[in-house]
Structure 1
Amino acid sequence: MSGGLDGALTTLAFCWRIERRDGVTIGLTSHDRDLDIGGLLYRAAPGMTPSAVRSGIGLEGEDSDVAGALTSDAISEADLMAGRWDGAALELRLTQWEAPGALWLLLARGEMGAVSRKGAAFTAELIGAAAVLGGPVAPSTSPDCRARLGDRACRVDMAGRRRIVAVAAVDGAQVAADGLEAGDYAFGTLRWLGGANVGLVQAVADNGAEGVTLVDPPAFAVAAGTLALLTQGCDRQLTTCAGRFGNVVNFRGEPYLPGMDLLTRYPGA
């Protein structure tokens, strides 16, 4: 595929394929005209430029940055600030605009990390595959459970622990919905299934019988009747794991392991 680089450099164009976590996929190209490659339309975005693309046998320099201009029909400021593009899978490739797809050289692949903006432009960090090697080799001990409710470590069956509700009203971070059991969705999530917030997932701080309290208000206005998917949560305490879920055998914490405060304890404390 690299043989196409022997031609004139003026025929080269960068192409970005960005797939959000909700499945929405867009294509952008640095060329001044749209390119149709592999059934995906790469829309002209001449302001899009990769600040650094480096490759080699080492692990240094695997991450890079992508900078570009905000466009209302592709990557808008509102969507960036709402977090729609956080964690999106991104591929950066090189092609020839005279023969789109004939040269299809992969330059970088990863996830969109931190996004910053300045005026009408934005910069997105591209996190490479080598970033996973920066994580801890073994998990740190903690009195709280390190698993998430329903994941492969927790193994709680989530069937029946999700519910679709019609939102009656929204006041700040308060979302009104009827027929809930108090406390069931605390530390859980709310995923918007319609309206301007569709696809966005928000953390739930607590809930009562008539609604939930979100950690942050919705990014966009919510109309009455909008559907949302509520998923139960867990406070990751041993008593909750035993009493509510009967799942102590899979508890991923060390509630009885002495902590650093052991050195400051004294008799009778």
Structure 2
Amino acid sequence: MTAIPPALESHLAGEVTTHCFCWIIRRKDSVIHGFTDHDRSLLVSGVACEPQTGLSASEATNSLGLGVDSAEIEGALSSASITDSDIERGAFDAAIVETWLVNWASPDQLTLLRSARIGAITRSGGKFVAETKSSAVDLDKVSGRRITRLCDAQLGDNRCGHAGGAQTGMAVTIISDREIVVSGHQPPNADWFDNGTLTWTSGANAGRANVVLNHAPFGNAIRLSLRDAQIPDVKAGDQFSLLPGCDKSFAQCQAKFANSVNFRGFPHLPGNDAAYNYADGKGNFDGKPLVP
């Protein structure tokens, strides 16, 4: 239940009201944007909210229980503070959106209606639609260890125990928004960087990570094909760090990284095919491990 300050509650109970809605977007990189559907700027919770008539929100509901509440914010890319490039590079991913009810005639009369997190963002022409989800979405995240055949550690972290073998490199040629030619890498074999993680360390995309689909020789350099969303504003000379790919399997952990002693999965765990099979003498039911 939303707690409304007495002054604002008294105002809303009157015959004539002067209220509006304000949205404050707090990005993960500490950048804050403020907008309002009023026709002039308002200072809300210490944030200057600029008038944006093209910004609107769908109906939002707050429900009891563990269900994830969702809503949408729709607007035009008419504000100088929100650019198409920022949306493309993921600057607004997982940003916090606060929805405020404000008495524009007396901005100190305000109440926070909802705080949510931006999920998927879709764009069409000069318009964007951002889906927002309540904090209950965190309950869908996996916490703790999982009993699976595959490893649940990340290559190079403390649980993995392997150094990772990251190599630094630099973009040389931009073929497309998903293919680049890079230098500074020496892959030991043809699939070394497949499913690897590329993290940009300089340029407009610094801090952003992409997954490498595959790589191939390209003259004296190599060409990387990226699996994730397109990379905006990549320029020759941008630097990055590239981890080799790991498919989380016991076989690759043993053969590619010689790190089977630190494998964090359960490779001997029988699957449904073994658990529900008949002991007819044809299957492997002698108690030996399924994975050597």
Q: Normalising by the residue count of structure 1, what TM-score does the alignment of the two structures yield? A: 0.76
Query: Closer, same or farther in 2 for the Cα pair 1:72/1:97, shift >3 Å?
Result: closer
1:120-175 per-position Cα deviation (integer Å, ceiling 9, x unaligned): 433222111122334578876532223333557x35476x7555533111223333
Q: How does 1:41-190 map onto structure 2 within 5 Å?
A: 41-55=48-62, 57-60=64-67, 62-71=69-78, 73-100=80-107, 102-117=108-123, 120-134=126-140, 141-150=147-156, 154-156=159-161, 161-162=165-166, 164-172=168-176, 173-182=178-187, 185-190=193-198
Kept in 2: contact 1:187–1:203 (CA 8 A): yes
Residues 1:257 and 2:269 aligned together: yes
Kept in 1: contact 2:68–2:133 (CA 8 A): no
CA–CA distance in 1 between the matches of 2:5 and 2:243? 48
CA–CA distance in 2 between the matches of 1:165 and 1:42? 41
Instruction: Tell which deviates more after alignment, 123-132 or 73-82.
Output: 73-82
Residues 1:25 and 2:32 aligned together: yes
Query: Closer, same or farther in 2 for the Cα pair 1:237/1:58, shift >3 Å?
Result: closer
Instruction: Tell which deviates more after alignment, 201-210 or 43-52.
Output: 201-210
Query: Closer, same or farther in 2 for the Cα pair 1:140/1:227, shift >3 Å?
Result: closer
Residues 1:201 and 2:209 aligned together: yes
**RMSD of the TM alignment (CA)?**
3.7
The residue type equivalent to 2:248 in the other structure is: R
Identity %, equivalent residues: 30
Give the CA deviation at 1:260.
Answer: 3.1
Match of 1:234 among 232, 246, 250: 246
Kept in 2: contact 1:22–1:199 (CA 8 A): no
Instruction: Give ranges in structure 1 of 5+ residues lacking alignment.
Output: none
Give the CA deviation at 1:112.
Answer: 0.9
